[in-house]
Amino acid sequence: MFAKPQKEHEWLHQLVGRWKVHHDCEMPDGTKSTTEGTMNCRSLGGMWLICESTGESPEGEAWSSIMTLGFDPTKGHYVGTFVGSMMPNIWKYKGKLDAYGKRLPLNSFGPQFDGGGTCNYRDTIDILDADTWLFGSEMQNEDGSWVQFMHGKHTRS
């Protein structure tokens, strides 16, 4: 009755641990900010990765977020969610690992920053080594081009 972890679930296990987080953001309106924090990632039965992050904005406001990632073998892709204390919506993820096994783009759909509608988003996990990974966030413009608005580095602590 219980599902068993697949090789795709095992890929997520490399993110388990405590991480120091450094994110640089440049929003579409040109506003720039840097934030630092911590992330604790744990496995939920080998099937799910649960990552809880906390930090402080440049203005001194506390923030927190939770990301879940798993693999749905019936759909053949990674699935997950992201919620943060700084926003009212839930982001649903869908993604496939690249051929090299180092990059996981996670596609999502949500409100545009200016409130003028919705657009496609993509968060990407890039594994550099056992102690370092990158996290980037992009949004898709109406012309189909992608614009990165956040780039983060995670270092094992």
Q: Which of 25-39, 111-125, 127-141 has the highest mean pLDDT?
A: 127-141
pLDDT of 155 > 80? The answer is yes
Average pLDDT, rounded, for the chain: 95
**Which contiguous run of DSSP H or E holds residue 54?**
strand 48-56
Mean of pLDDT values over 1-14:
93
Higher-scoring residue by pLDDT: 29, 46: 46
**What is the tens place of the pLDDT at every residue in 20-40?**
999 999 988 899 999 999 999
Q: Do the Cβ atoms of 67 and 51 come closer than 8 Å?
A: yes
Q: What's the predicted TM-score (pTM) here?
A: 0.95
The domain made up of 7-156 has a fold known as Lipocalin (2.40.128)
